[in-house]
Amino acid sequence: MTVTTALMTLIVYTTELYPTVVRTIGYGFQSTVGRLGAIAAPLLIYINGFFPGLLYFSCGILIFLSVGSIKRLKETKNVLLPDSI
C-alpha cells in the first residue's frame, strides 16, 4: 500500500513539472520506466542466490539515485511554465 501511495505521489509531482505540451510524453516515459522496473524486480531475487547481499546493495543504490534525481528537480510553485518545448 505504501509503495502504491509513493508511486501516485511521484506521478502527480513529476507530471506537474512538465509543460502542458509534453506532459503526456513525460507521463508515458515514467510509466514505461516503472513497468520495466516491475519486470526486473523479481529477477533480483535470483541474483541474490548467486551473490548474497547483492539484492539489498542494488536496491539501496537505486534508492539513493532516485532521491538524488528528485532533489535536482526545481520547484514550480507560482511559476508560469512555458507552453512550448
Does 10 map to a domain? yes
What is the model's pTM?
0.53
Residues 6+ apart with CB under 8 A from 15: 23, 26, 27, 30
Query: What's the mean pLDDT when you consider all of the chain?
Result: 80
Is the pLDDT confidence value at 11 over 70?
Answer: yes
* Residue 76 placed within a domain: no
- 50 within some domain: yes
Q: How confident is the model at residue 36 (pLDDT cuts 50, 70, 90)?
A: confident
The percentage of the chain sitting over the pLDDT mark of 70, rounded to a whole number, equals 95
Question: Is residue 79 in a domain?
Answer: no
Asked if residue 44 belongs to a domain, the reply is: yes
DSSP 32-60: HHHHHHHHHHHHHHHHHHHSTTHHHHHHH
Expressed as residue numbers, the domain containing 21 is 2-71
Domain count, the chain: 1
